Structure 1
Amino acid sequence: MTNETFKIKESMYAGKGKRFANYIIDRILVTSLFSAVGILLGVMAESSGDYEMLMWLEHINPVVDYLVTGVLFSLYYIVFECWTQKTIGKMLTKTIVVDENGNKPSVGSIIGRSLCRMIPFNHFSFLGSKGRGWHDSLSKTYVVDVKTQEEQKQLFESLNKLGEIGEEDFD
């Protein structure tokens, strides 16, 4: 019996264009959500006459702003990737987050992956030669093209079954 395990190969990686599209789509969606919350806070402040929260937001420390924004973006990625293995951007580009065996990553890997996005310049790290971002390599996850990965996994499993059938002849 063969003991081989399916492994993700570089040929399955989502292309840089799809990765960039994922980033832009998700960024626009989350930024739009932040804007809607800001408008809602403005309307609530105007109707109540309590402008304290708006004043705090207007004069927020840049480090606090970076951390709050990073945590909120991380929550978006954590919720979607834990639930479906993909964000809305990945849904549109037909890509998915997997572990090295093509399976759903652990919750810990997804949390780590999401928090690694707060590393400065991480957003452009996937533009390197292999097309994997720091948040991918540090969390041992991969963003792959769904169709390519499914085809390769199916081929791998079919070849393994053929190998098992052949081994029965020697028992």
Structure 2
Amino acid sequence: MRKILTIVEYNKASLGIRFVNNLLDLIVLIVINVIISNISNILYEITSVDFFYFYSNGGIFWELFIGNFNCFLYYFLMENYLDGRTVGKYITGTKAISTDGTKPTTQQIVYRNLARLIPFDGLSFFGVNGWHDSWSDTRVIDLKKYHAEIQAKSEIDRLGQKEIA
């Protein structure tokens, strides 16, 4: 279990911001899936390989599988390689960090994204923290508030220190 810093808890993004993040990322995922489906259909017309036909026309179970796979891949790649941020988080000025204030590890990001695949994960936010935050020891913070509080704390710590000219 990681240490939970109060500065992280006090600067968590609101549920409204989290909802907007989710909505924006869902739009990006839909666009990505439409692009992949169209490319897949074109490749099927060119190559007649059944996989490319199956990608867009595989039935409900295939759509659930490929949708969850694409969702996992999108969130994993974005949060792992873009410092805890997705397109939605960039737009809203938020970021996923570890509860101890550090960048989330790859393992934490994997846990976050596996928990997102649970059907009622979105409803878990009616509690204190959602499952994908609690189980991975991460939080989504408002960057402006977080950095302002860190700066204020560092200025308080510097009070009384002698300035060297």
Tell me the SS of whatever aligns to 2:103. coil
Gaps of 5+ in 1: 166-171
Tell me the SS of whatever aligns to 1:115. helix
Q: With structure 2 as the length reference, what TM-score do the two structures score?
A: 0.82
The 1:45/1:151 distance shift into structure 2, 3 A limit, reads same
Work out which structure has the larger RCO, using CA pairs closer than 8 Å and 6 or more positions apart in sequence. 1
Q: How many residues align?
A: 157
The 1:56/1:33 distance shift into structure 2, 3 A limit, reads closer
Gaps of 5+ in 2: none
What is the CA deviation profile of residues 37-85 of structure 1, one whole-angstrom value per residue up to 9, with x for unaligned ones?
111111222234x2623246423461x5333322221111111111221
1:150 Cα deviation from its structure 2 partner? 0.9
Report if aligned partners of 2:8, 2:141 keep a CA contact under 8 Å in 1.
no
Distance in 1, matches of 2:95 and 2:133, equals 12
Counterpart residue number, 1:82:
80
The 1:158/1:100 distance shift into structure 2, 3 A limit, reads farther
* Structure with the greater alpha carbon radius of gyration: 1
Report if aligned partners of 2:41, 2:56 keep a CA contact under 8 Å in 1.
no
The 1:6/1:51 distance shift into structure 2, 3 A limit, reads closer
Q: With structure 1 as the length reference, what TM-score do the two structures score?
A: 0.79
Report if aligned partners of 1:102, 1:149 keep a CA contact under 8 Å in 2.
no
Report if aligned partners of 1:14, 1:145 keep a CA contact under 8 Å in 2.
yes
Q: Percent identity?
A: 28
